[in-house]
A and B are shown apart, each in its own frame.
Chain A
């Protein structure tokens, strides 16, 4: 379970997250959408303990992240948007590092690492340094690292970045099944079609505030728009698409 109560985060004078109230229940996949710089990644960082809230509360898996960060971190898996890894390590060493940080039983961890590397097609490259991996291969390592300790709650920030179509399909299906098993998933993405297909609920954030929260159908009904794209544009103050393209064309032709 994820629950934000009046959650806010300020960077200097800028309010990146503004008094958010949101709840994601077990078994739900929440699609967390928003335009660039809206506060998606900051919200996720606040939920995972990477940033400290300026005010408000973030409850994850039944624990307050500010008061009991270790209990929260034991129960979460996270795929960061940046995809940053210690590239001097091999895939095997990196995953082992993750299991060590999660205090997993060492023999069980070894078996699971081997299994995950095989599933993701990285078994032959397991001793190769991450610096020589492609973007998609690195993303697979990040996903494996997030799943290895079988977390209750998953925070996935653009998890399909760089993945080939087959792996992306597998991950999408896997997430649905994980949710069916009762896991809570927060899924941040800019790809609206993917969000629409796998998420049971959608929350849209704009300028640090939640501007919509509901099932895809509810959001379409509330905005009276036929597609999620149009609903998103309306909710986030995006310009009328036809008018915007006309403006661009006019600017292009200006002498």
Chain B
């Protein structure tokens, strides 16, 4: 029966079944293998913890759905969020699902019809869309089930609308991705994808603050597509219109919008068909095969501010600099801190200027805490970024050369501070100076934050000392680590910082004592890292 149906559409059932199964297996195993394992352990754990994290982010919509009877408004917000997340996920983490340069060399000479290949790819995409749509919207969907008593029709319609909206996003993403590939170089494409990665991170962190604000906004008080036709420009509004149907509130205009959205989806699917072909894969393989000629512009010196670098320091500084300049993943992961800084600064100053802790005795963290959060989050993020890389197999040189691992890891920490944390602190210093209008206060404040950030970085290296760029990137691991940090760091921060501000800042004596204490702790931690490294490295093996 199914076979006959497939045959009718020109799809080879057995090829489709075999390829679909293999593609899913391959996706899952690639995560495991890049975790350096021959079994599914770490990759699987990372994948499931990522799903769990997205499930948690979806919880934000539960109070929004339950407290606001305007189903159209809440569904539009939910669908907008999931559409953005799914689009970003497909482009950044799962772009090989859409189309991969490996497809053609492996399958190009096999007797597979374009239609079968398209359907295989489509099913692969549908699987991920269904999975991530479900995880991101599940808490809200359950809320819709119980919004007006038990209303299964509303819950089911909510799920269908979220899924179809995200499927449309997937189709648009395919077309966008293939369009970009056709018109820009692979290097530029990598830049675009990296920028999208930054945007995605930005959306995740800011959504917690923006979405509740939007609900309160006056803009959404008269939120109805038939009353406000400008909403037709918002694709999520098309799909949230579906929810009016089970409530019996859909008018003629709403029905037109529903039909229109389905038609648009069909048109997109038609165009995507041409792109998800083996012929297109051939072109992609050709683009991917082209090498990009790059030349190193400037050699690094063996000294820094007059201090002669040790061999290990020089090695680490060259590697970090070059990876930052030429490895897009590393570069964009580091740079993602900048839009976050701007957003948190904007949000932190909504209730007035940043308070000067030297002048404010009763320091409340409030929204300002977000800005301070970054100072501590950034070094922890950097530690993760600097140890994981797609170039991890090249780290064999550290294991076969007579290198001092202690010095290598201490240099890794120091250069993260010098290259990234220090410039970031300088930017913050300028911001503080703008608000405090006192250069000395701004400098001293930055000094305290810098020393504390260094302490956090030392702790990160103490708990997990790793050689630079020596661990494989596992799909989703970064997102999972970020989620953990976002949960753990604020707790520590909101405990420590107000105390420091109240106790340390009021008198010069307490301030000086504090600085000396931090420096002493830092020296002790430095020794502890060395001891830990010498102990840990005895059991350290190359992951390649």
Contacts and interface: CB of A to CB of B under 8 A. Distances in A.
Interface in A81-126: 82, 84-90, 92-93, 96-98, 100-103, 106
Interface string B388-406: 0001011011111111100
B296 A100 contact: no
B343 to A, nearest CB: 30
A129 interface: yes
A129 B293 CA distance: 7
A127 B323 CA distance: 16
B7 interface: no
B302 interface: yes
Which of A86, A132, A145 has the largest number of chain B CB atoms within 10 A? A86
Contact of A127 (B296, B312, B404): B296
Which of B318, B325, B326, B401 has the largest number of chain A CB atoms within 10 A? B401
B294 A103 contact: no
Contact of A88 (B391, B396, B403): B391
B292 A52 contact: no
Given A78-B400, A86-B394, A106-B302, A129 B319 contact: no
A62 to B, nearest CB: 15
B367 interface: no
A129 B402 contact: no
Nearest to A87: B391
B362 interface: no
Contacts of B391: 84, 86-88
A50 B400 contact: yes
Nearest to B396: A80
B216 interface: no
Given A84-B394, A97-B397, A129-B326, A89 B318 contact: yes
B539 interface: yes
Interface stretch (A18-26, A68-76, A166-174, A195-203): A68-76
Nearest to B37: A12
Contacts of A194: none
A93 B318 contact: yes
B401 A51 contact: no
Contact of A97 (B292, B315, B325, B539): B315
Contacts of A12: 38
B246 interface: no
A97 B318 contact: yes
Given A76-B400, A88-B326, A50 B296 contact: no
Which of A97, A127, A145 has the largest number of chain B CB atoms within 10 A? A97
Contacts of A139: none
B490 interface: no
Nearest to A49: B399
- Range of interface residues on chain B? 35 or more
Interface residues of A, number: 39
B5 interface: no
A96 B315 CA distance: 9
A90 B326 CA distance: 11
Contact of B541 (A50, A98, A103): A50
Interface in A126-146: 127-129, 131-132, 145
Which of A12, A80, A98 has the largest number of chain B CB atoms within 10 A? A80
Given A48-B400, A87-B391, A92 B315 contact: no
B296 A101 contact: no
B396 A127 contact: no
A51 B296 contact: no
Given A88-B323, A102-B402, A52 B544 contact: no
Contact of A73 (B323, B400, B469, B544): B400
A51 to B, nearest CB: 5
B314 A100 contact: yes
A176 interface: no
Contact of B402 (A45, A70, A87, A106): A70
B401 A132 contact: no
Nearest to B300: A93
B222 interface: no
Interface in B209-258: none
Contacts of B469: 86
Nearest to B323: A88
Given A84-B396, A88-B326, A97-B397, A52 B294 contact: no
A41 to B, nearest CB: 10
Contacts of B394: 84-87
B541 A73 contact: no
A190 B396 CA distance: 22
B321 to A, nearest CB: 9
Interface string B335-374: 0000000000000000000000000000000000000000
Contacts of A132: 291-294
A73 B393 contact: no
A52 B543 CA distance: 12
A100 B319 contact: no
A92 B404 CA distance: 22
A88 B544 contact: no
Given A84-B393, A92-B296, A101 B322 contact: no
A56 to B, nearest CB: 16
A236 B172 CA distance: 55
B311 A103 contact: yes
Contacts of B326: 88, 129, 131
A87 B400 CA distance: 18
A128 B397 CA distance: 20
Nearest to B401: A101
B402 A74 contact: yes
B327 interface: yes
B295 interface: yes
A86 B231 CA distance: 50
B6 interface: no
5 contacts: A52-B541, A76-B400, A93-B322, A100-B312, A101-B397
Given A84-B396, A90-B296, A102-B401, 11 more contacts: A12-B38, A70-B402, A71-B402, A84-B544, A93-B322, A100-B312, A100-B314, A127-B295, A128-B295, A131-B291, A131-B294
